Structure 1
Amino acid sequence: MEFILYLAIIIVSTKLAGALSVRLGQPAVLGKLIAGILIGPAVLGWVKPDDFIGHFSEIGVLLLMFIAGLETDLDQLRRNWKPSFAVAVGGILLPFVGGYGIAAAFGLSSNEALFLGLLLCATSVSISVQTLKEMDKLQSREGTTILGAAVVDDVLVVILLAVMMSFLIPANDVSLGLLIGKKVLFFVVIGLVGWLLVPRFLKWFAPLKVTETAMSAALIICFAFSYFAEEMGIAGIIGAFAAGIAVSQTPFKHQVESKVEPIAYTLFVPVFFVSIGLHITFDGVGEQLLFIVLVTIVAAVTKLLGGGLGARLTGFNNRSSIAIGAGMVSRGEVALIIAASGLESGLLPEKYFTSVILVVILTTLITPPLLKQVFKERQTA
């Protein structure tokens, strides 16, 4: 019954830490992330990462992105596809160069430096989504551009990872054509299913004489889209986001939205926030402190400038561009997955693995206060 105790500790700590964070003028999500570090192995050791935490965390991030899709203005997302693409490309080029340069400066091999550069290209906007939602900015033009850029970023980074592994690992026989074909197939299938089948499925399923049928149908769509995304080599959060958009185009949008939020924010999303902090360990950190600090600075600054430059070149003013760049800083679970694959393939040295995980988590911790400050300055300007 240990997992029951874990749940109680997680819910209490995230709610109290979130409330304290708000009182200190920061987004609630920052307190929840820090709560994960405090109750995890790094400090108190009350909660340890295990399969239960992993599964609940995965559901939490999928629901978070599903809600983001429900609240996204599809017309605005279409209008902002050019800025989104430019932000994604800028947010890949600069971090790649910066990551390669800093890795080379610390004496990593050329292959290892290429991999670290690619790792810093990743973006996971689940934390940015929550921060923007708290500030009521998720449906702003900047918020929509960040969401669109995250989709493009995920696809490009996965393709680059496959290209890199096919060239740098001799035994790897990744077919680039197949990989790109799967990405194209994903968007075609999701687009058609979202347009043709989702409304019909909800209309058929909702009247069934059992409880919460519309909500159940929406969750079926969310998890099915997420599973299909993973099968096609795309992060499950992109599938959940697409599912949210599909459901938002039906008459069931408000009904689903009002019922999915209590489920998500009461139980699953708090576990996701805490799970990020549970990866932190301070063993051997002292020896690589300079590496961690410098790579974190490079990771944050290059993403901020790269994403911001892409936004500036496509018509946003300086303050909005900085806000968009700030929303792309968090590496989150996408970079954690890439880091694990790098360790397994030998492209990420084992002695740097913990340090890289800390860099990923630090970029995630930086994002909420950075976004809050940038949007605050934008409002007062």
Structure 2
Amino acid sequence: MDYIGTLSLILIVTAVAGHISVRLGLPAVIGQLLSGIVLGPALLGWVTATSFISNFAELGVIILMFMAGLESDLQLLKKYWRPSLLVAVLGVILPVGVIDWCSRLFHLGNIESLFLGVTFAATSVSISVAVLKELHALDGKEGTTILGAAVVDDVLAVLILSLMISLFGGEVGESSSTNLGVSLAIQAAFFIGLFAVVKWVVPRLMKIGDALLVPTSVTLMSLVICFGLAYFADFIGLSAVIGAFFAGIAVGQTDYRQVIDAHIQPIGNAVFIPVFFVSIGLNMSFKGFLADFWFIVVITVAAIVTKLLGAGIGAKLAGFSWTSGYEIGAGMVSRGEMALIIAQIGYQGKLLSADRYSAVIAAIILTTLIAPILLRQSIQHQAKPAQKKA
């Protein structure tokens, strides 16, 4: 029953830390992320990244992205698909190129340097979603573009990673029996199939759920759809959050949106989502921090600046103002669980050396901590002219 005590500790600490963060004018997610660092191996060592925590955290990020999809405006996503594509592509190219170059300055090999570029090309929109929801900016044009770009970003990062593993990977690449071309075809079929799921399958499933004579049957069916699509996305090599996000979009087009939103929010925000944010902090370690200090600083700064510039320029080319471009860039800075997963895969596949692994994890966590602050500041700056006009 130790896990019950651990869960209780996480929930009370994240609640207090989130409260303090908000009182200090910071996003609540900052306090939750710092809770993981304080409770984890980096400082107190009271909580470790057990399979229980990992599974709970995975459910948390899936529910968070389902909620994001639920609150997204499908028409806005369609309208801003071009800006999303530009933001994602430039937001991938710049980090890959610059971080690859920075890594070579610290005498990393060609393959390892390129892999680090791919690692920091990924975006963890789940952190940005929490801030956007907190500031009621999720359904604006900037928030919509961030969501759309993050989906494209994840797909691009997964495709590049798959290609690298198939060409250069050790253990992972050798054990992979699936042809890369077949994998890409399956993933393309998944996105094509999503159209049918959103338009025809989900509405029928929700009506079946409504007819079930069990409590909260509609919410139950929505979770089945959420977890089902998350599982299939993960099964074919994509991120589970992509499946969860599109499940939320699909359910959000039905007549049950408000009911489900009212039921899912307490489930996610009270239990699962705080554990997810804590789990990111648990990966932090100060082992070898001083020895790799400048490497961590350079990679962290490069990771932040390249996303801000790449995504921001992409937004500007798509017709946004520089202020909006900065907000969109800030929304793409967070690396979070996506970069952590890619780093772990690369480590297992011998694309990332053990000597640099802890430093890379530290840089990922630092960008994840800084990102919500940048995003909140950019949203508040964007809101000032509107307030003056009002």
Regarding TM over 0.5, the answer is yes
Separation of aligned partners in 1, 2:63 and 2:134 = 16
- 1:206 corresponding residue in structure 2: 210
User: What is aligned with 1:149?
Assistant: 149
List per-residue Cα deviations over 1:168-204 (Å, max 9, x = no partner).
2486576332122122111112221221111111101
Q: Give 1:219's aligned residue.
A: 223
Written as runs of structure 1 = structure 2, the 5 A alignment for 1:45-124 is: 45-124=45-124
Check whether the contact 1:36–1:276 (CA below 8 A) recurs between aligned residues.
Answer: yes
In structure 1, the partner of 2:278 is 274
1:42 aligns with 2:42: yes
What amino acid sits opposite 1:150 in the alignment? A
How far off is 1:165 after superposition?
A: 2.2
Partners of 2:280 and 2:164 in 1: CA distance: 27
Q: Provide the C-alpha distance between the structure 2 equivalents of 1:345 and 1:210, rounded to a whole number of angstroms.
A: 47
Give the drift of 1:233: 1.1
In the TM superposition, residue 380 of structure 1 has moved relative to its aligned partner by 2.0
Deviation at 1:212, TM superposition (A): 1.1
Q: Which moved more, 1:105-114 or 1:170-179?
A: 170-179
Percent of residue pairs bearing the same amino acid type: 48
Q: Which amino acid aligns with 2:160?
A: L
One-letter identity of the residue aligned with 2:41: P
Question: Any conservation in 2 of the 1:190–1:225 contact (CA below 8 Å)?
Answer: no
1:254 aligns with 2:253: no
AA matched with 2:342: I
CA deviations on 1:197-242 (whole Å, 9 max, x unpaired) are: 1111110122211111001000000000000000121100010000
Query: Separation in 1 of the partners of 2:4 and 2:298?
Result: 40
In the alignment, is the contact (CA less than 8 A) between 1:91 and 1:306 conserved in 2?
yes
Whole-angstrom distance in 1 between the partners of 2:106 and 2:326: 29
> Take 2:331 and 2:63, find their aligned partners in 1: how far apart are those partners?
19
What's the CA shift string for 1:277-316, capped at 9, x where partnerless?
Answer: 0111111111101111110000010011000010000000
Q: Secondary structure at the match of 1:47?
A: coil
Secondary structure of 2:211's partner? coil
Residue 304 (1) aligns with residue 334 (2): no
Separation in structure 2 between the aligned mates of residue 363 and residue 92 of structure 1, nearest angstrom: 16
Report 1:335-374 matches (<5 A): 335-374=339-378
> 1:63–1:269: 8 Å Cα contact kept in structure 2?
yes
3-state SS in 1 of match to 2:301? helix
- Range 201-210 or range 85-94, more displaced: 201-210
Contact 1:64 1:126 in 2 (8 A): yes
Which residue identity does 1:67 align to in structure 2?
M
Show the counterpart of 1:284.
Answer: 288
Aligned length: 381
Q: TM-score, normalised by structure 2?
A: 0.96
Query: What displacement does 1:11 show?
Result: 0.7
For residues 152 and 180 of structure 1, what CA distance do their matches in structure 2 show? 14
User: 1:182 aligns to what?
Assistant: 186
From the superposition, tell whether residues 169 and 276 of structure 1 become closer, same or farther in structure 2 (CA, over 3 Å).
closer
- SS of the equivalent of 2:292 reads helix
What SS is found at the alignment partner of 1:315?
coil
* Contact 1:155–1:183 (8 Å) recurs in 2: no
Q: Distance in 2 between matches of 1:122 and 1:343?
A: 16
Name the CA distance, whole Å, in 1 between partners of 2:118 and 2:46. 34
The gaps in structure 1 that reach 5 residues or longer are none
Offset of 1:332 from its aligned partner?
1.0
Which SS does the other structure have where 1:206 is aligned?
helix
Of 195, 199, 212, the residue aligned with 1:195 is 199
Counterparts of 1:34 and 1:56, CA distance in 2: 18
Q: Take 2:153 and 2:169, find their aligned partners in 1: how far apart are those partners? A: 23
Give unmatched runs, 5+ long, in structure 2: 386-390
Q: What secondary structure sits across from 2:90 in the alignment?
A: helix
The two structures have a TM-score, normalised by structure 1, of 0.98
- CA–CA separation in structure 1 for the residues paired with 2:169 and 2:265: 44
